[in-house]
Amino acid sequence: MKKLSVKAILSTLLIIIFLLMVFTGALLYFGRTGVMLGFSRHLLRETHFWVAVFMCLLVPVHLFLNFRTYIAELRSFSKRRKDSNECEKGK
């Protein structure tokens, strides 16, 4: 499988996992007792926990696969800040 395909799949999984974390977290936070949308509080807590574990495993892989891009973005940001500071000094 091509690296780009792996990155796309991984990014999509992380988006889905993030949305599931937000959904279960919101239900746990706002639905204080009983059953929420047909889900027991115990099931929501378990789902929230295991989704968090899965996310903690995938995020380092995502960062590893995108490390070069991340470094390039940091350099670009640093360069823009440097150029901006030099322009302000020239005024």
Q: Which residue is associated with the tokens 């796309």?
A: 8
pTM score of the predicted model: 0.69
Mean pLDDT of 2-23: 91
Q: 53 to each of 1, 86, 90, how far by Cα in Å?
A: 25, 45, 51
SS3 26: helix
Rg (CA), the chain: 20
Band the pLDDT of 90: cuts 50, 70, 90. low
Between CA 82 and CA 88 the distance in angstroms is 10
pLDDT digit string (tens) for 13-53?
A: 999 999 999 999 998 888 877 777 788 888 999 999 999 99
Return the pLDDT at 31: 80
